[in-house]
Structure 1
């Protein structure tokens, strides 16, 4: 039903004769449009230079804020492009990409600075992709790729501004982000529940496990079950406990059925849809999946507050980007402060155990606090051996609560162990039940297999500069881009290791100069080889173009006699030599 009818009148004037707004997403109000006698009803540049106070998030002038003719003059989108170019000029490892439509209008934008790309190489095992930073349907999606570092801080792996939330936009974004991260796929990715996003992830990350964030599930429950929450005040608490506190599948199923029975919600379509995909968001179904978040599953509060303050319809695009830059700088500063604290501040020990002392020396302070909590709590459990053999099994229960027990398996041969709570598989640190069994069986040192490097003080060190595999079938130009990105990532690692002290800086500088000379020499050798091949190719062409000289027939051989001295240097006289020559 959406349509507009425009008739051309005399003297090049145009008249809007009919306008049907049903099923229409408004771009500009009819009384604001001044038709012109050209192919475009609204000039992109005039829209960009508009002095209206509305910011880039307002859908009414969304196209004015982000869509431009790249050959035109300034505006917010032009300012964004200049910002991205300036950032890359300052640091070649800064990555950005812009997608344009058939009319050369900007549709989607992605960027990631050098620190973000480097952080992903160390902490990119689990990824959170979030597009929910918008308050109303009139605000464009701002997307972030995030993870957790070895200080339990959220780190950013890249950002994007999207025109829409369609599968096509997500496919472009994921492909671009993957190229910026060196082609390395994450082990798991946590997102909001969205069909377009789900289709794009299954296409671009076929081997990555896609899960739905519990924070988003609980947040949507507030809206989907608002009437039930008002009618049953305890429903929200019990549902949250069912999702977060259940330790086994059986416990989750029992609690879920109890809630549906108690509040008569068996016919609730929202809860039915959640139950059908429970393996995608409920923690009890994801015990074999590493998601390095040792605290409760909550959104980063600092970032959430930042968006509430700065992401609104009155904020201009460039102002928002500037403030977001400041937030990222503050994030990097906090990470640097934690690095220093881990080096110079030793956490206090609560027991004389060598395992606790070892953990304090290995882990960062933030992770050690989580480990120390597990270790101290382990002292309140007792162990009962229930199965003997090469792999023994133990029943671990709390001293004052016999209702819950945990089964720990332990191998005397290689010290390998496991617990049915699966805390190590999920978080990367040992649980209190295994630590208690270690005490009983006499293990006084943490086995190397149970110290995850991503949680240690040396998480950012001793990384081998491996050659990253690129997908086959790329064009030569695409290979050049992949090689360039790969070398940039290695250069960042080199810089982080070299910029520690004046001594390491000098060593790194000399090593770079030596390597640079070797690269130049290799290029020159390759260039000479190419020149030789070109010369050979030219000679082959000349062979067919220039006629060869005709060969003269050979004359019959005639014996020749040469006058010599009576006796030459070999002791033979001239006559003997003539006879020998004739015989020949």
Structure 2
């Protein structure tokens, strides 16, 4: 997976599942006489290290204390430390994910709807029911979010782990950055930042610290798409969105055949966007490749020769010819009929 992801998605950051790695501790060190100490020290090394230097020091202490310098499994984990240790992943946005979150995967999504003996037809019907239930749960969650006040919980010192964090604050531009990296990795400001703001008597934050992905007062674009779980006429907004998309597709098909048509369509589309949104959209000029392609398209459309519809070239498929392939009993019955 590591090699495939680096090749197919070169601009992404691959992260290993922290839960699966720590789950192997009993398997790797369960027979060790000091298993509890190894487990506790390793977890502190992983979760309490705020910088690369702190991790390196803690990791070295772990190996020396329990005489694990020659352990191949730990050596492999150390070589891949940039892919699973939180201290090495603070500069990348992960939306709070550190594991593959199997409990929230498709397995949990279909719980109670499908089972190993479910047929394909039953799966289609049950899929629609599962999707409908998920939408209902989201709407209930949205309602509760708007109409419920979350009570603040005070945590006593007996349950707190004391760790030092460094908060950098630029008062001129109101730039905030904490060593815990919570905003960079989760998109939510940490309590350390709010402590500094409170000490500096700052009562408001710039809009950039309120990410759209966490706001519940925005209409998500996917909610405009009409789905099978919508009853007839139950979502008029989705119906309007669907109608407009069909018209815009027709407009695009007519406009792209000619550069002048393209420019005029772009102009009016951006004018409407300016009018409806209140912001300014500057239409981009067509690229040289577009102009050349459009000119070629116009010339070919004017010629009678290019209007002929011809059969595609016959290309031999890969693999064993279908005539010589061994058929299943069902296929043999169908062929005989």
CA displacement at 1:282 relative to structure 2: 0.4
Out of 436, 442, 457, the position equivalent to 2:195 is 436
Structure 2 residue 211 is the aligned partner of structure 1 residue 452: yes
* CA deviation vs aligned residue, 1:11-68 (integer Å, no higher than 9, x gap): xxxxxxxxxxxxxxxxxxxxxxxxxxxxxxxxxxxxxxxxxxxxxxxxxxxxxxxxxx
Asked if structure 2 preserves the Cα contact closer than 8 Å seen for 1:246 and 1:284, the reply is yes
* Cα contact 2:17–2:84 (8 A) shared by 1: yes
Cross-structure match for 1:244: 47
Aligned equivalents of 1:304 and 1:267: distance in 2?
A: 40
Residue 274 (structure 1) aligns with:
77
What is the CA-CA distance between 1:214 and the residue it aligns to?
0.5
Q: Look up the match of 2:101.
A: 299
Secondary structure in structure 2 of the residue aligned to 1:210: coil
Task: State the Cα deviation string for residues 450-477 of structure 1 (Å, max 9, x = none).
Answer: 112111114653x6xxxxxxxxxxxxxx
Q: How does 1:174-185 map to 2 (within 5 A)?
A: none
Q: 1:274 to 1:523 in 2, by over 3 A?
A: closer
C-alpha offsets along residues 332-357 of structure 1, whole Å, 9 cap, x if unaligned? 543343233334x232465xxxxxxx
Question: Aligned pair in 2 of structure 1 residues 207, 298: CA closer, same or farther (>3 Å)?
Answer: closer
TM-score where L is the length of structure 1: 0.37
**Equivalent in the alignment of 1:406:** 165
Equivalent runs, 1:349-364 vs 2, <5 Å: 350=152
Cα-to-partner distance string for 1:266-290 (whole Å, 9 max, x where unaligned): 2111111111211111001111111
8 Å CA contact 2:52, 2:87 repeated in 1: yes
Alpha-carbon distance in 2 for matches of 1:433, 1:224: 37
What does 1:96-111 correspond to in 2, within 5 Å?
none
Instruction: Indicate whether 1:217 and 2:21 are aligned.
Output: yes
| Structure number with higher strand proportion | 1
Q: Does the 8 A contact of 1:232 with 1:263 survive in 2?
A: no
Q: CA deviation at 1:519?
A: 5.4
- In structure 2, relative to structure 1, the CA distance for the partners of 1:215 and 1:439 (3 Å cut) is same
Gaps of 5+ in 2: 262-296, 308-337
Question: 1:253 is matched with which residue: 56, 60, 68?
Answer: 56
Contact 2:52 2:88 (8 Å CA) reproduced? yes
Preserved contact between residue 408 and residue 417 of structure 1 (Cα < 8 Å): yes
Distance 2:196 2:298 in 1: 66
Residue of structure 1 in register with 2:274 after alignment: none
What is the Cα deviation at residue 239 of structure 1? 2.2
Contact 2:226 2:239 in 1 (8 A): no
Partner of 1:199: 3
Give the structure with the higher percent helix: 2
TM-score by length of 2: 0.60
The alpha-carbon deviation at position 427 of structure 1 amounts to 1.2
The number of aligned residues is: 261
- For the aligned residue pairs, the C-alpha RMSD in angstroms reads 4.5
Extract unaligned runs of 5+ from structure 1. Answer: 1-196, 351-372, 381-397, 464-491, 539-584
1:417 aligns with 2:161: no
What does the per-residue CA deviation read over 1:246-278, in whole Å, with 9 as the maximum and x for residues that have no partner?
Answer: 333333333323332332222111111111211
1:208 lines up with 2:12 in the alignment? yes
User: Aligned to 1:495, which of 213, 221, 225?
Assistant: 225
Correspondence 1:342 to 2:145: yes
Distance (Å, rounded) in 2 between the aligned partners of 1:266 and 1:260: 5
User: Partners in 2 of 1:537 and 1:298 — Cα distance?
Assistant: 53
Q: Distance in 1 between matches of 2:72 and 2:95?
A: 32
The within-5 A match list for 1:2-81 is: none
Name the residue aligned to 1:467. none
User: Residue 203 of structure 1: CA displacement?
Assistant: 0.9
Q: Does the residue aligned with 1:418 lie in a helix, a strand or coil? A: strand
SS at match of 1:264: coil
After superposition, where does 1:52-201 map in structure 2 within 5 Å? 197-201=1-5
Query: d(CA) in 2 for partners of 1:263 and 1:317?
Result: 53
Query: Measured at CA, do residues 417 and 321 of structure 1 come closer, stay the same or move farther in structure 2, by a change above 3 Å?
Result: same
Residues 70-94 of structure 1: per-residue CA shift (max 9 Å, x gap): xxxxxxxxxxxxxxxxxxxxxxxxx
Return the alpha-carbon distance in structure 1 between the equivalents of residues 9 and 226 of structure 2: 30
Q: Which residue of 2 aligns with 1:114?
A: none
Cα shift at 1:521? 5.5
SS of 1:207's partner is: coil
